[in-house]
């Protein structure tokens, strides 16, 4: 990983370590600029109990909490979890305002992707407000691609960004959206039966 500016470090944290630190900052970072529908607050006690039971029945998927610290003070984070045997969801990331424009978000992103790939995930994705260019642009530059749009009652319009560690899957995405013609590798994957000449 590219070295961090002096005084900064990224630490991997347990849920017990991470959640109290995150709760101190998350609502201020996100609620000040958005109108998030906190749906859990509107569930009945029975619905909350059922939701808790459903969470527990999912077992123990892989979770990753990264804390960004400056001189031992918590100043940013990236957290996510396993959604399936191939997919890791980058659920929430932020750097506190006084520590932005220093490459720290990209450092968190790089470390998250590194750990997820080492674990064996084939897709790493995140969801963002469709106007959140401060996050969307760095991710596109990193190699994420837009894979879908979503309209939710909780957040509004979201764009999904996905990173494919495997070069073949990245190439297939480019082909699927029409930005390249099939080559021999894509032909082989999809059994297109193209008659290739010596020139191509």
Q: Where are the domains of the chain?
A: 8-165, 168-200
Quick one: which H or E segment has residue 6? none
Quick one: which H or E segment has residue 95? strand 87-95
- Across the range 188-193, mean pLDDT stands at 95
The alpha carbon of residue 186 and the mean position of all alpha carbons in its chain are separated, in whole angstroms, by 27
Work out the pLDDT band at 198, boundaries 50, 70, 90. Answer: confident
For domain 8-165, give the fold: Aminopeptidase (3.40.630)
Q: How many CA atoms lie within 13 A of 120 on its CB side?
A: 4
**Is pLDDT above 90 for 188?**
yes
Which residues, 6 or more positions from 145, have their beta carbon under 8 angstroms from its beta carbon? 161, 162, 163, 164, 170, 173
Q: What is the pTM of this model?
A: 0.88
Q: What is the mean pLDDT of the chain?
A: 93
CA dihedral sign, ordered 43, 36, 18, 87: positive
Structural contact between residues 147 and 173, judged by C-beta atoms closer than 8 angstroms:
yes
């Amino acid at each position: 990983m590219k070295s961090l500016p002096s005084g900064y470090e990224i630490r991997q944290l347990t849920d017990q370590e991470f959640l109290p630190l995150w709760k101190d900052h998350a609502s201020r970072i996100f609620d000040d600029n958005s109108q998030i529908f906190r749906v859990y607050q509107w569930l009945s006690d029975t619905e909350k109990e059922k939701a808790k039971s459903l969470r527990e029945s999912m077992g123990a998927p892989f979770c990753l909490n990264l804390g960004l610290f400056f001189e031992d003070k918590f100043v940013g984070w990236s957290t996510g979890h396993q959604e399936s045997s191939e997919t890791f969801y980058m659920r929430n990331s932020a750097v506190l305002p006084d520590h932005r424009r220093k490459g720290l978000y990209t450092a968190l992103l790089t470390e998250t992707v590194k750990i997820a790939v080492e674990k064996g995930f084939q897709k790493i994705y995140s969801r963002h407000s469709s106007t959140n260019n401060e996050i969307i642009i760095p991710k596109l530059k990193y190699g994420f691609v837009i894979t879908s749009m979503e309209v939710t009652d909780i957040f509004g319009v979201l764009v999904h960004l996905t990173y494919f560690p495997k070069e073949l899957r990245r190439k297939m995405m480019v082909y699927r959206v029409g930005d390249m013609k099939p080559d021999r590798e894509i032909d082989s994957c999809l059994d297109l039966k193209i008659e290739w000449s010596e020139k191509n």
